[in-house]
């Protein structure tokens, strides 16, 4: 059993302040996003639980918010990359 825990501080001017992710055997088990738009971050967290880490990265990476070059979903992809190493 391979459990991983990542605490990630987003960069690039997004709204969220911290992301905490737990995975087991490359499956996302828990996502907590601190800061950001509460409804969106709660929804995103619930959608990711049970998803394979690589699938989540492919779906979220590159999403842009307000021409910042990143977004909360994109930053989640960056955090998830720490698990997939």
Tens of pLDDT along the chain (85 residues) come to 899 999 999 998 778 999 999 999 999 999 999 998 889 889 999 999 999 999 999 999 999 988 888 999 999 999 999 986 6
Domain span at residue 36 reads 3-84
Domain count, the chain: 1
pTM of the model: 0.91
Contacts 24+ apart (CB under 8 A), 19-24: 19/75, 19/76, 19/79, 21/76, 21/79, 21/80, 21/83, 23/53, 23/83
Are 83 and 21 in contact, with CB atoms under 8 Å apart? yes
Residue 78's CATH number: 3.30.390.50
């Amino acid at each position: 059993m391979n459990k991983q825990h990542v605490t990630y501080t987003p960069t690039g001017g997004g709204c969220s302040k911290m992301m905490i992710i737990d995975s087991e055997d490359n499956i996302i088990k828990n996502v907590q996003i601190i800061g950001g738009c509460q409804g969106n971050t709660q929804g995103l967290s619930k959608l990711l639980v049970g998803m394979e880490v690589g699938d989540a990265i492919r779906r979220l990476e590159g999403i842009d918010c307000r021409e910042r070059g990143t977004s909360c979903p994109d930053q989640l992809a960056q955090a998830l990359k720490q698990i997939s190493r």
